[in-house]
Structure 1
Amino acid sequence: MKIHLLALTLACFTLLGCSENDVQDSEAPQASGPVEIDEMPPMIEMDGHPEHGPHGGELVELGKEAFHIEVMHGTGAVAMYVLDGSATQPVAIEADKLTVSLKHDGKVKSFELPADPQAEDASGKSSRFASANTEMDQWLEAEAEGAVIVQIEGKSYTGKISHDHDHDH
């Protein structure tokens, strides 16, 4: 019985002229060589997010990768951007400031960065926090370590600011 069924199937393909090419969608694009990429993708670390934030700054992890803070300094001012878990997209939050505690040369000091909303942030929210405090900028440039504390969606997050150049968390 199996032999008859196989013979019947082969006969149908032979008589009808059905081929593998007829089964494929004739509208489907066909590959015509190697794919060219205009630019290299950002460096991705093993934990699944870029090595640096979208502005090129150091990343601070919040809540086991729930969010990130991108730290920008070295211009006489400091800016911190709240980013999503992938550290690629801004997250506008309702906080009116971020608090940063730093330790440098045996001294400990707290700094506040007021909200500085970006154009795309919803009204009453901010994904950027900035300060023109030159002392904070100098401390960060001198590789001061510490923590940033922020409220996101009613939950307090603390991220460690360090300058481990092998891994920026």
Structure 2
Amino acid sequence: MKYKMLLSAVACFALTGCSDKNASVDSADDSSAPVAIDGMPPSIDAHAHPEHGPHGGELVELGKEAFHLEMVHAGGAVGFFVLDGSATKPVAIDAKKLTVSLKHDGEVKVFELAAEPQAEDEAGKASRYSTRDEVMDQWMDAGAEGAVVVEIDGKSFTGKISHDHDHAGHDHGDHEGHDH
């Protein structure tokens, strides 16, 4: 199988050659025209996903978009929702917790978020994890960055957290309506 994949890659390279990223594309060449993938219309990118999750939160990619986490920080709580590769549908998993490691002002701290199953989650599984840890809440307000680790189907996934506080309309005060 690896041999066939390598042979295909070599053949593709030999047929197309090296590309210069500064080279212009000939508009008469239709080889770059959209192609239907797995029955999807050509106008839809097979890997496209929304900029924000279903709850308006920031998306964290896991495993080259095998899954996503949606990070929501509001009202003194921090929560993560496990989503599919398209970042649109919840995925209930077996993990009892997920771990977040944050760095702020040169200090690193680890937080554990407990599973909080939603009504539609299969028994014994959860698609939501949250905490009301005041330190984590404060660090998130201050723009701490770090990583989140979660186990899904026996595999450990790590995603990068970079909490954006430079968006318009953000209020660092009472957190009401603070939804990202």
Mapped partners of 1:135, 1:58: distance in 2: 20
Mapped partners of 2:46, 2:124: distance in 1: 35
Q: What is the match of residue 150 of structure 2?
A: 150
Q: What is the match of residue 90 of structure 2?
A: 90
| TM-score, structure 1 as length reference | 0.69
Q: Deviations over 1:53-74 (max 9, x none)?
A: 0000000000000000000113
Q: What is the match of residue 113 of structure 1?
A: 113
SS of equivalent residue, structure 2 residue 103: strand
Mapped partners of 2:82, 2:50: distance in 1: 15
| Higher Cα radius of gyration | 1
Cα deviation for residue 162 of structure 1 reads 1.1
Q: What is the match of residue 140 of structure 1?
A: 140
Q: What is the match of residue 81 of structure 2?
A: 81
Cα deviation for residue 47 of structure 1 reads 4.8
| TM-score, structure 2 as length reference | 0.65
Q: Deviations over 1:37-93 (max 9, x none)?
A: xxxxxxx99950000000000000000000000001131111100000000000000
Mapped partners of 1:154, 1:134: distance in 2: 31
Count, aligned residues: 123
Percent identity over the alignment is 69
> Which stretches in structure 1 are left out of the alignment for 5+ residues?
1-43
Q: Is the contact made by 1:93 and 1:153 (CA closer than 8 Å) also made in structure 2? A: yes
> Which stretches in structure 2 are left out of the alignment for 5+ residues?
1-43, 168-180
Q: Do residues 163 (structure 1) and 163 (structure 2) align?
A: yes
Q: Is the contact made by 1:75 and 1:137 (CA closer than 8 Å) also made in structure 2? A: no
Q: 1:45 to 1:51 in 2, by over 3 A?
A: farther
Q: What is the match of residue 129 of structure 1?
A: 129
Mapped partners of 2:145, 2:102: distance in 1: 5
Q: What is the match of residue 64 of structure 1?
A: 64
SS of equivalent residue, structure 1 residue 73: strand
Q: What is the match of residue 28 of structure 2?
A: none
